[in-house]
Amino acid sequence: MLASEEILTAFNEILDIRQAYGWNRTEIFGFMHHVVENWHLYDLQADEQQPLRAILQEIKMLCPPDGASFAEPGLEPFQSTKRGINPMWNPRSPTEGSKFCLKTFVHKGIPYSGIFDLLGLFLSSISRAPNRATTRNFYLPILAMYAKWAAELNEPGPKMFNCTWIKEGPGKGTFFLGASLAGYLGGRGSNQTGTWAEVVKGARWALINDPVVQMSGFSMYDSPAFRLTGARKWFGSCAEVYPLVNLLQNGSNPSAIHGIALRDRGVKPEKYEDRQSGEVWRWTRNLCDNCAALVNMWGGVPENFDRLADITGAPL
C-alpha cells in the first residue's frame, strides 16, 4: 500500500480535512452551523459567535438556487454577488452604466460582496493552524478543501484559490483563504447588465489601491502584468487579494508571510490527492506578476510564495 501524507486535523483538532474535502452542500452547511452554535469547542471567544453567524447567513443569502440575495426578484440574471438596482440604469443605453449597484457586507472594516470570498472569510476566522502546520500537512490541504467547497456551493466558480499564512513570529499560524473574482454575471437581451463587470472588478481594485500602490503609478488597467508582458490582466482580481489585504497590507511581520495558490483543476478528483504526481500539486501556482508586485510594494517576500518550497518529502 502506498504511503499517504499526514494531514493535520483543523480547527482545534475537530475537522478531518481529508474527509471534509468530499463533503456535499448539506454537510458543508452542517459544519458551519456547528461552528456557530458550538463556538466554545473551536476555542473561539463568545464575542466571535455573532460575526461568524452573520457571515454564515450572508453565504446562505448568496447561495443558489434560492438564496434571498442570489435570486432576488428584479435582479436578473441571478448570481452570487450582493447587488441592488442602479436607479440611473437605462437599458436602452447599456454601455453607459451598470444595471446594478454593488452592495457589501463589512467585516473588520473590509467589504465583501461575493459568496466565495465570504466562504474564505468564514474558514479563516475559526482558529489558527496547528503548531506543526506546513504547506504539505495543512495549508495546501485546507486550500484544496476550500476550493472543493466553493465548487459545491456554486458553479462556475473561481479559477484560482490562495492560502496565505504567517509562518513564524507574532501571529504564527494565522492564515487566510481567498479566491479569484467570480460569482458575478453579465447578461444579454432583456437581462443585459451594462458595465456591471467593471463595477465588480473596480471594487476589488479599490481594496488594494492604498497610498503605497498609488505611489507606484499602477491602475486597475495599467497593471504590473500589462507593463511586463502586455497581458490584459486587471489588477485586483486575483485570489491573493483578500489574504494579502488581511495579513500583509498593514501587518507587522511582512517577511513571515508565506502562501501558495491552486488552480480549480487541482480539485477535480473526488478525493484529495496528496502525492507529488497527483492533481493538487500539479496545479499549484506561484504568484502572478500582479501579485508579486503587490507583495513587494507591501513589504513582503515574493519568494515565500514558491509553490514547490515544501514539496520535498511528499509521497511521489
Contacts for 115 with CB less than 8 Å, ≥ 6 apart: 59, 62, 63, 80, 81, 153, 154, 183
- Counting Cα atoms < 13 Å in the Cβ hemisphere of 22 gives 7
Q: What mean pLDDT value characterizes the chain? A: 95
Over residues 259-263, the mean pLDDT reads 99
Share above pLDDT 70 across residues of the chain, in percent, rounded to a whole number = 97
Q: Grid coordinates representing 233? A: 490582466
Q: State in Å, rounded, how far the first CA of the chain is from the last one.
A: 13
The arrangement of strands across the sheet holding 160-166 comes to 175-179, 160-166, 257-263, 284-285
Angle of CA points 251, 134, 34, to nearest 5°: 80
Residues 116, 30: Cα–Cα separation, whole Å: 17
Query: Is residue 181 scored above 80 in pLDDT?
Result: yes
> Would you say residue 308 has pLDDT above 70?
yes
The answer to whether residue 222 scores a pLDDT higher than 90 is yes
Q: Are 259 and 304 in contact (CB under 8 A)?
A: yes
**Set of cell numbers at residue 294:** 503587490
**Is residue 36 predicted with pLDDT exceeding 50?**
yes
193, 120, 203: which is closest to 157 by C-alpha?
A: 120
Q: Determine the average pLDDT of the residues in 259-271.
A: 97
Q: State how far the Cα of 78 lies from the Cα of 277, in Å rounded to an integer.
A: 39
- Kindly tell me if the per-residue pLDDT of 2 is higher than 70: no
Average pLDDT over residues 85-104: 90
Question: Quick one: cell of 178?
Answer: 481567498
More confident residue, 130 or 314: 130
**What is the C-alpha separation between 54 and 8, in angstroms, rounded?**
28
d(CA 62, CA 80): 5
Report in angstroms the alpha-carbon separations of 170 from 95, 121, 154: 49, 20, 36
Q: Among residues 78, 77, 84, 76, which one has the least CA distance to residue 64?
A: 78
pLDDT for 3: 65
- CA 294 – CA 202 distance, rounded (Å): 17
Instruction: Please list, residue by residue across 31-47, b when 16 or more beta carbons sit within 10 angstroms of its beta carbon and e when fewer do.
Output: bbeebbeebeebebeee
The reported pLDDT for the residue numbered 96 is 80
Query: Residue 176 in 3-state DSSP?
Result: strand
Amino acid at 115: I
What pLDDT is attached to residue 100? 96
Cell numbers for 127:
482558529
Q: So what's the pLDDT on residue 163? A: 99
Provide the pLDDT confidence category of residue 154 given band limits of 50, 70 and 90: very high
Residue 194 to residue 213: CA distance in whole angstroms = 28
* pLDDT for res 1: 46
Q: In the predicted model, is pLDDT for residue 22 greater than 90?
A: yes
- CA–CA separation, 9 vs 18, rounded Å? 9
- pLDDT for 91: 82
Phi, psi of 3 (to 5 degrees): -70, 145
What is the structure's pLDDT at 188?
66
* 27, pLDDT greater than 70: yes
Give pLDDT, residue 190: 59
| Whether pLDDT at 302 is above 70 | yes
In this predicted structure, what is the pLDDT of residue 189?
63
Residues across the chain: 316
Q: What is the mean pLDDT of residues 263-277?
A: 95
pLDDT value at position 144?
99
pLDDT bucket at 186, cuts 50 / 70 / 90: confident
Q: What are the distances in angstroms from CA 237 to CA 172, 253, 278, 305?
A: 27, 24, 27, 18
- Compute the average pLDDT of residues 19-25: 98
Average pLDDT over residues 85-107: 91
The better pLDDT of the pair 188, 246 is held by 246
Q: Does pLDDT of 275 surpass 60?
A: yes
- Give the pLDDT confidence score for residue 4 in this predicted structure: 80
Specify the range with the lowest mean pLDDT, choosing from 111-120, 173-182, 269-278, 281-290.
Answer: 269-278
- The DSSP call for residue 256 is G
